[in-house]
Amino acid sequence: MSHALVLDGKNVLVVEDQYLVAESMKRSVRDLGGKVLGPVSNVAAALAMIETEIPDLALLDVNLGGEPIFPAVLELNRRGIPYIFATGYELSVLSPEHHKAPHLEKPVTTRDLAEAVRKLL
């Protein structure tokens, strides 16, 4: 199945603190037809981007240099913006209220991202 345009026209906020991982995520979003917002590497920048750019979807690292992403998750939930966790952590590390959110293990491939987006949207 082709996933070429699964993000066509969607603004995707990328929140990732590791440069090379963020670059890979940017490429995947663009390959799937999305527009990248960011990437940003901390919660404050993520919250600012949510406020000013209003993403259609967010791709979130769970741990940003020791800073948990969850304040941004609360704001995304408040606004009804879907998100996907992209992390090296096992799902069991997340609190139970976050277990239902889509979860991709790093490194995130374009194919895995496309599948997660297709199921989410």
pTM as predicted:
0.93
Q: What are phi and psi of 26, to 5 degrees?
A: -60, -45
Query: Is 4 within the bounds of a domain?
Result: no
CA distances from 11 to 7, 38, 50, 88 (A): 8, 10, 11, 24
| CATH code of the domain in which 102 resides | 3.40.50.2300
pLDDT digits (tens, 9 = 90+) for 17-41: 999 999 999 999 999 999 999 999 9
CA distances from 100 to 1, 71, 81, 85 (A): 25, 17, 15, 11
Q: How many domains does the chain have?
A: 1
The mean pLDDT value of the chain amounts to: 92
Q: Is the pLDDT of residue 68 over 70?
A: yes
Pull the structure tokens for residue 77.
């939930």
pLDDT of residue 3: 62
pLDDT digits (tens, 9 = 90+) for 1-20: 456 799 999 999 999 999 99
Q: How many CB atoms lie within 10 A of CB 6?
A: 21
User: The domain containing residue 49 runs over which residues?
Assistant: 11-120
